[in-house]
Amino acid sequence: MPTAGARASNPDWTDPECPVARTLDLVGDRWSLLVVRDAMDGARSFTEFQRRTGIARNILSDRLRKLTAHGLLVQRTAPSGRRQEYVLTDAGRDLFPVVLTLRQWGERHAFAPGESRSTLVDRHGTPVPELVPSGADGTPVDAGTTEVRKAR
């Protein structure tokens, strides 16, 4: 896994001081987050990722390599001992709120009323409640109540 210093010195950052831009440089393409999504849902093998996403094999190879190189996935020998599998690292699992927020945005804005869609449920089968960002005092925050302070 690359060190934080190695990642920080990357000359290809879109906007070196912006956490959003750096994150998008790592996982902002269509396929990377779908691979992370499927890993969160239990996919482990190349074949499983390919089947679930429909992604071309060469693109999937590239995304798995990139996600592994940046420390979001780790490759290990499967319990059967016959092949390699991909498993989320702590950094990969930390993308759960991102995937959840994208899912919830999609539920509100990417489906027609009554249109069929999947549902994310907890281990008891209860739908996961909407994620609402909140400030230190517990009040909801949004783009109208926050601001970015640039690095100096």
Q: What is the pTM of this model?
A: 0.86
Closest CA to 104 of 75, 77, 124, 132: 132
Average pLDDT, the chain: 91
Give the pLDDT confidence of 10-58 residue by residue, as tens digits: 668 888 889 999 999 999 998 999 999 999 999 999 999 999 999 999 9
* Domains located in the chain, CATH noted: 4-90 (1.10.10.10)
Residues 113 and 107: their CA atoms lie apart, in Å, by 10
Per residue in 50-98, pLDDT tens? 999 999 999 999 999 999 999 999 999 998 888 999 999 999 999 999 9
**Residue 77, SS3 per DSSP:** strand
At 5, is the pLDDT very low, low, confident or very high (cuts 50, 70, 90)? very low
